[in-house]
Amino acid sequence: MTENFKHLYCMHIYERRLWEKNIRLIAGIDEAGRGPLAGPVVAAVVILREELFLPELNDSKCVSERLRNKLAGEIKAKAAGWGIGIASVGFIERCNILQATFYAMRQAVRHLDLQPDFVLVDGNLEVPGLSTPQAAIIKGDQKSASIAAASILAKTTRDAIMKYYDILYPKYGFARNKGYPTSGHLAALNKYGPCFLHRKTFRGVKE
C-alpha cells in the first residue's frame, strides 16, 4: 500500500462510516478567511463521489499553491457537487466573524445542485440553520476527504479574490499576504490607513 493510498484511506474514515449506513451524499464544509484583517470570508462545500480517487488531496494548508490550484480544478470537474458562499466585509462588521462564517457556509450549501444527506463541518461547531443532519469535526480538514476538498476550494477562491483586490489596492500587498497581519501588511496600514476592504473592528485595524 503506497503512502498516498494510506493517507487517502485514513482521510475517508468518516465518509466510510456513513456510506456503510447507506448514507450516500456526504458533503464537507470548510472556510477560509476568518483570521485576516481584510477581505471576505469564503466557505465551500464539496460532495465527493465514492469512487473518486485524488491521491494528492490534503488540507489546503498542507499543499503548495500550485497543487491547490490543480486540485481545485479536479474537484470541480469530478465531484458530485460543490458550492461556494461568501460573506462580505460589511457582513462581518455587522454580525461578527463567526456569524459571517455560518452565513457563508449556509450559502455554499444552498448553491449545491443536489442536496446532501449528511454534512461534515470543519471545527467544533455545527452550522445553525441547516436542515441536513451534520457533525462537526475538529481539524476536519486533516481527517475528512470531503472537508479537505472544501478547504481547497475555499482557499483558492479567496486567494483569487484577494489577488484581484491587490490590483485595485497594490500598496497593501494583498496578493502576497491575502489580508493576514504580516509585518508588511501592518506597516502599510500604519502608513496609509485602512481601505474599504479592511475589517475596521479587528485588532490591528481599529487602532
Residues 150-172: pLDDT tens digits? 999 999 999 999 999 999 999 99
Residue 195 lies in a domain: no
Would residue 206 count as lying in a domain?
no
- What CATH code is carried by the domain that includes residue 27? 3.30.420.10
In a domain, 199, yes or no: no
Residue 192 has pLDDT above 70, yes or no: yes
pLDDT, residue 176, reads 96
pLDDT of residue 50: 79
Can you give the residue range of the structural domain that contains 61?
3-164
In this model, does residue 3 exceed pLDDT 80? Answer: no
Residue 178: inside a domain, yes or no? no
The predicted structure's pLDDT at residue 1: 47
| Average pLDDT of the residues in 103-130 | 96
185 in a structural domain = no
The domain total for the chain is 1
Q: Is pLDDT of 193 > 50?
A: yes
pLDDT band at 199 (very low <50, low <70, confident <90, very high): very high
Q: Is residue 176 part of a domain?
A: no
Confidence of residue 6 (pLDDT cuts 50, 70, 90): confident
Q: How far is CA 172 from CA 13, 86, 90, 167, 191, in A?
A: 42, 22, 19, 10, 10
| Domain-located, residue 122 | yes
Does residue 35 sit within a domain?
Answer: yes
